[in-house]
Structure 1
């Protein structure tokens, strides 16, 4: 069965170098990688290379729930694109595009089958929006 793909994107008012570095730096990831204010990312590990792994712990601030968002990189083209596969074999493809000093980030990912597609899109978009705010605060 073919997996449904979901697309999100954001235009970030920051240069490509800063966007790339901030997206992949574990100390920065802990600052932006959450979908709502009652969640956080207490730990992040990132080995950004083909075959390398990442693991970002996502946790409710009240301690009621946490999970590891982890995967393995299948393609890394610095300052251009990243692809990875999650533990359940869903894939994600990202593109980073210079737009006259701003950076467009495009993400396409396989939907999972537990939650509605719109909920998944909103959750991932919310995380990307938090990333945008974090990067722009550094620019």
Structure 2
């Protein structure tokens, strides 16, 4: 993981995050000053950022929001105090309303971003200065340390490029914490087709079959927010076992980039999961990222032990063949 250290200092009223990357300083600068790149990692998993304003000059402002799986938005703003390309910049960071107006009831902090050359690449130092010990304690209590760490640990995929980051690696599963797992798979195909393949039954029936020897016997999908879906898989040979199914509801749909659904195993008392699907296209390939939220660690481990990753890889490999024929 890129983040090497996060420390809080109640006496100096600071939080300092350091991270190392196998990329030159200029590439790190580009990632933090191009809003389209920045929004790919600034929000922690499950809360992707969208920058609507980004004026990179002293006195300029950046306004952004982060969107939860349920569609809730958290707004923030930066006021640029200094900009020194390519070694860093300094901002006043504030919680804000939907218009970018700082929220007077929440702390405003001064953030200093420094990019320095390091053996093998570059080092990020992000120092946040608070006005009081109470303000520092408040944002730490809101999960700033964990959120910042998870956000910066997403930066590798941006710096490397999709094909270098995920090409040829198949389906990758990362355990983020006790209740969150992130699954990634690079698909050779444009984002619009990959999105359709996750929404349209006639395409789903061709690839989302799981391991060989199974078929998708029922595929009912209403992709609109509030709509429901139902999948039932059956073995092609009844001697290989009994069928099973999943059902759920669409909570968020932002075509062709993000869809959030619940998932429950039909006919069981197993708790539901939250599945947050995001797509990103670069150089003709689309990265599928599926963030799964489990109710607890035991459920997470039980599902992973079923061979889920291997089954998904079989389906995703089949998807590439389907897209090539569309």
Same fold (TM over 0.5): yes
Alpha-carbon distance change, 99 to 113 in structure 1, aligned in 2, over 3 angstroms: closer
For 1:4, which of 169, 179, 183 is the aligned residue?
A: 179
Moved more, 123-132 or 76-85: 123-132
Aligned-pair CA distance for 1:78: 0.6
CA distance in 1, matches of 2:317, 2:180: 19
Moved more, 74-83 or 118-127: 118-127
For 1:13, which of 180, 188, 205 is the aligned residue?
A: 188
Between structure 1 and structure 2, the one with the greater Rg is 2
1:34-113 counterparts in 2 under 5 A? 34-63=209-238, 64-87=241-264, 88-111=271-294, 112=299
User: Retained in 2: the 8 A contact 1:6–1:121?
Assistant: no
The size of the alignment, in residue pairs, is 137
Alpha-carbon distance change, 68 to 101 in structure 1, aligned in 2, over 3 angstroms: same
CA distance in 1, matches of 2:220, 2:202: 9
- For the residue of structure 2 that corresponds to 1:115, the secondary structure is helix
Deviations 1:75-130 (A, max 9, x none): 11010101111133211111011112221111121354573525233333333333
Alpha-carbon distance change, 113 to 80 in structure 1, aligned in 2, over 3 angstroms: closer
Give me the TM-score of the superposition, normalised by structure 2. 0.39
Aligned-pair CA distance for 1:13: 1.5
Alpha-carbon distance change, 34 to 110 in structure 1, aligned in 2, over 3 angstroms: farther
RMSD: 2.1
For 1:123, which of 311, 314, 318 is the aligned residue?
A: 311
User: Retained in 1: the 8 A contact 2:179–2:300?
Assistant: no
CA distance in 2, matches of 1:29, 1:77: 19
Unaligned runs of 5+ in 1: none
Alpha-carbon distance change, 136 to 9 in structure 1, aligned in 2, over 3 angstroms: farther
Aligned-pair CA distance for 1:62: 1.2
Moved more, 127-136 or 15-24: 127-136
Moved over 3 A (4+): 110-116
